[in-house]
Structure 1
């Protein structure tokens, strides 16, 4: 295929919100149309270079075609993107507020009222400072054995309040499902499974580390695992929805040119 055709097609399909297979299909159909147009202009007596330029000019502006494809793929593409950014921002705020900010605020208020111990970080009654600098207490607040605490919550559920069991098991899965949904929708670099899940693990690790360092929560490897499971569920769910949607409504913007 002519280099000009390749560059032209790449400009149209590169930012489309669809998978590689569909982009390839769209690119091939555009290429077929361009070749037919080029052939028509050659038969009219134009030189090859002129025929190529005429074919590109006749087919249309790349930006307009790209926007047309986006509208064809999703008629409410812009509204959809804006809505998802708003929802993602709200989700991020809620997660950070619940897991970091509100805990830190409670800790500061308790400390100012003469209660230096944290509600989420085990310490001893002799603690007087805001932070605990004790290796044994740090070890007590860190679990690096996979599923140790999760199994304990399930097996010994009668020893814990029901809300504690749910929050530390099912809750850790549910809270990260939206992240798995939003990543492939809003960020093209996270449309692949491995990249999306790796990013989710990094986010979960960062939250766990901040809780531990600020002494407003324990570092628990189970949280990382359950958060990652939540992201996987969300990612697979939205990928399935997108796949079904694209099978039902495939873009064929250039059919009218046939």
Structure 2
């Protein structure tokens, strides 16, 4: 392979990252199944308020709402933590990956608030960054396994 040429695997990983970001954008900005077709201007800037309420009132809340809010936010950002180190190895350190997850999450929350599609919630940012961390941990486990074999 010529010097400076991209590895074929990185090209496919970059394509996969693009598809993931397009799907994430659709989900958080346009998906009618998540109420993105209604205009809302709700916000929560109190750390752990939404998470605490979902846990406290989980018996009164529909189970799918509970799981979607708590686990869905984490699951939505796990691919970012997994793919980012593969696409941008220099940004693949834990700090760079978490910072990227934080930036993407804050951007999404701000756009949702400004465009009134969804709600701005600091707890979503916490859960998204946690999902990014879990994805990065899967990346590290995969790297460890790859290095052993």
Larger radius of gyration: 1
Q: Secondary structure at the match of 2:31?
A: helix
CA contact (8 A) 2:77 2:129 kept: yes
| Alpha-carbon offset, residue 228 of structure 1 | 0.3
Structure 1 runs not aligned, ≥5 long: 1-61, 71-76, 108-116, 123-140, 249-258
Map of 2:10 onto structure 1: 81
Query: Which residue of 40, 49, 54 maps to 1:148?
Result: 49
d(CA) in 1 for partners of 2:89, 2:143: 14
Q: Runs of at least 4 residues of structure 1 off by over 3 A?
A: none
d(CA) in 2 for partners of 1:245, 1:153: 39
d(CA) in 2 for partners of 1:154, 1:106: 24
| Alpha-carbon offset, residue 167 of structure 1 | 1.1
Q: Does 1:220 align with 2:121?
A: yes
Matched residues, number: 146
| Alpha-carbon offset, residue 85 of structure 1 | 2.0
| Alpha-carbon offset, residue 213 of structure 1 | 0.6
TM-score computed with the length of structure 1 as normaliser: 0.52
Higher relative contact order (CA 8 A, sep 6+): 2
| Alpha-carbon offset, residue 84 of structure 1 | 1.5
Map of 1:180 onto structure 2: 81
Q: Does 1:194 align with 2:123?
A: no
Q: Secondary structure at the match of 1:83?
A: helix
| Alpha-carbon offset, residue 106 of structure 1 | 5.8
Q: Secondary structure at the match of 1:209?
A: helix
d(CA) in 2 for partners of 1:227, 1:177: 8
CA contact (8 A) 2:28 2:36 kept: no
CA contact (8 A) 2:73 2:128 kept: yes
